[in-house]
Amino acid sequence: MLRNKRFWMILLLLVILASAGGYAYYANTAAAAQDEAEPEVQTAVVRRGDITISATGAGTVIAAQEIELGFATSGVLTGLLVQVGDEVASGDVLARVDDTNARQELLNTQLQLAQAAMQTDASATQTGISFDDISVEQARLEVELAQAALDELLSWQSDPDEIALLEANLAAAEAGYNAARGQEAASSTNITVSGISVEQAERDLAQAQAAYDTAWEPARDWELNDPRRADALEAERDRTADALLRAQEALQVAQLNYNAAVASTNNSSSTSAEGNLLNAQQELAAALAGPTEEEIEAAEIVLRQAELALQQALLNQEANALSLAQAELNVAAAQAAVDGTVLVAPIGGTVTAVNFAVSETASGSVVVLADLDQPLLEVYLDETDMNMVGVGYEVEVLFDALPDDVFTGQVAQVDPQLVSENGVTTVRALVLLDADSFAKPQTLPVGLNAAVEVIGGRAQNALLVPVEALRELSPGEYAVFVMENDEPRLRLVEVGLMDFTFAEILSGLEEGEVVTTGIVETE
């Protein structure tokens, strides 16, 4: 606030000093001339009137929009539906080229898309399921079955009811064996043979016992602490234990056979009873022992293989989805190629050129389409008038071919860069003519020349003074001498528009006041 007050005080002081200086200058000049002759002060009355500032240039009618239309690929022109001068609407078909190859390619890509869709898109099949869905579901089921089998092995527990049943079966088998053995007691031959078998079984058992004792010798326990020998020793002990068990069982079988031979001469009954007994013993042993490590490891391998198969099915599904997307793109490209065999007008306009005839191979620009409904003027003005041109400025146009009509419009565009025309640096602008201005019986053909006046400013009923009355105190700051009581007084004024003759006064003067415009020397 204080700064503003100080500014106005300084400005007022400058005005007073300027007035005093001006008056002193005026008085000294008048006094100096008084000795020779009485000067005559030339004056003018402040009046109201109109003032317009403008810049002139040359213009040419151009199309508001011009498009060169052609096919995406070259081809033999099979149809031409327009000629130069035709008016077309947006979407109208202008020309066609041979589409045989394009349609065949479209059909091929559509078939490939259908195949790709059946592979991975369930909605594309009548059954509502795709091949990939089936593959993935099958793989999931295999994983579930393998997992269930492994879980069953890992969580195994003996079943008391099953054990009791197998024990009863074993007892029955033993009873049957004993009965068959009693039946063979009368046969000396069978007894002899059975005795030999028992002796052989005993020898085998002795050998198995010796191998077992060697493997299970406590003195060899140190090998279990040696990683290189531990596995071999464990395998040897398992093997000799199994061999000893088999030898024992073999001996038992031989002994049973021998006993059966002694008890009965019915060899078939003894053999059957023996088999039943062995089966019962093996079933009971398996039920009591549970799954082995080898069985569990095998089940784990089966599960891993099923999981890998599931991952493979999922990867195939992703790959087939990509193939489907590619097939869709191929169809879209093929459809675009078919559509590209038809030349369609993107806008309404007038055909200004047709560059090919039917049966010729068309390439590049085939049809040129221009929008002539709203013609533009391409205008060039001298660079010194650059400040007189701006977007939205009013324009008056006088065509060379239509000297009796004045057209109006507005500046629609001013190029940000100066251009050189015939060695002269100019400002290029585009002028849009008012619709009512050119809606006349005559047309405005492209290339029509005109004189253009760009209205840089216009003021009506404004206060006007001659430009000679202005005294420029500093750039953009003006004052005038106003006659008060027959004496000139300097007064600051605000100036608006100014041409070569008059200046618009925005403030500082009133209509009817008299200002000086200079001193006329008289003899």
Tell me the mean pLDDT per 10 residues along the chain, length 523: 35 42 46 51 92 88 87 90 91 93 94 91 84 92 94 82 84 82 62 80 88 86 82 85 87 82 62 84 77 89 95 93 94 93 91 92 91 84 86 90 88 90 88 76 79 89 94 92 92 91 93 85 44
Instruction: Answer yes or no: are the C-beta atoms of 375 and 63 closer than 8 Å.
Output: yes
According to DSSP H, which parts of 290-402 are helical? 293-339
Classify burial at 297, counting beta carbons within 10 Å of its beta carbon; exposed 0-12, middle 13-18, buried 19 or more: exposed
Question: How far is residue 267's CA from residue 283's CA, in Å, rounded to a whole number?
Answer: 24
Can you list the pairs that 350-354 forms with residues at least 24 positions away whose Cβ atoms lie under 8 Å?
350/85, 350/86, 350/87, 350/88, 351/82, 351/83, 351/84, 351/85, 351/86, 351/87, 351/88, 351/94, 352/63, 352/66, 352/84, 352/446, 353/84, 354/80, 354/82, 354/83, 354/84
According to DSSP H, which parts of 444-516 are helical? none
Other CB atoms within 10 A of residue 190 CB: 22
Backbone angles phi, psi at 184, to 5 degrees: -95, 5
DSSP labels, 242-275: HHHHHHHHHHHHHHHHHHHHHH-S-HHHHHHHHH
Q: What is the pLDDT of residue 523?
A: 44
Q: What is the pLDDT of residue 267?
A: 56
Other CB atoms within 10 A of residue 404 CB: 6
Q: What is the pLDDT of residue 292?
A: 84
Q: What is the pLDDT of residue 29?
A: 47
Instruction: Answer yes or no: are the C-beta atoms of 518 and 42 closer than 8 Å.
Output: yes
421: helix, strand or coil:
strand
Tell me the residue ranges of DSSP E strands in 340-445.
342-344, 349-354, 361-362, 367-371, 376-382, 394-399, 402-414, 419-421, 424-433
Q: Which residue has the tokens 């028992």?
A: 198
Question: How far is residue 212's CA from residue 240's CA, in Å, rounded to a whole number?
Answer: 5
Q: What is the pLDDT of residue 23?
A: 46
Q: Which residue has the tokens 């002694």?
A: 262
Question: How far is residue 398's CA from residue 379's CA, in Å, rounded to a whole number?
Answer: 12
Classify burial at 289, counting beta carbons within 10 Å of its beta carbon; exposed 0-12, middle 13-18, buried 19 or more: exposed
Nearest to 359 by CA among 153, 76, 146: 76
Q: Which residue has the tokens 């079988």?
A: 253
Tokens of 11: 């400005």
What sign for the dihedral angle of Cα 258, 263, 269, 273? Answer: negative
Q: Delineate the domains of the chain, giving CATH numbers in brackets.
A: 2-51+460-520 (2.40.420.20), 65-98+341-368 (2.40.50.100), 109-151+301-334 (no CATH), 157-290 (no CATH)
Q: What is the pLDDT of residue 182?
A: 67
What residue type is assigned to position 348 of the chain? G
Q: What is the pLDDT of residue 469?
A: 93
Question: How far is residue 429's CA from residue 384's CA, in Å, rounded to a whole number?
Answer: 14
Question: How far is residue 82's CA from residue 97's CA, in Å, rounded to a whole number?
Answer: 14
What sign for the dihedral angle of Cα 341, 346, 347, 352? Answer: negative
Classify burial at 249, counting beta carbons within 10 Å of its beta carbon; exposed 0-12, middle 13-18, buried 19 or more: middle
Write a three-state SS string for 54-116: EEEEEEEEECCEEEEECCCCCEEEEEECCCCCCEECCCCEEEEECCHHHHHHHHHHHHHHHHH
Q: What is the pLDDT of residue 519?
A: 67
Question: How far is residue 407's CA from residue 405's CA, in Å, rounded to a whole number?
Answer: 6
What sign for the dihedral angle of Cα 12, 13, 16, 18? Answer: negative
Q: What is the pLDDT of residue 14?
A: 44
pTM for the full model? 0.45
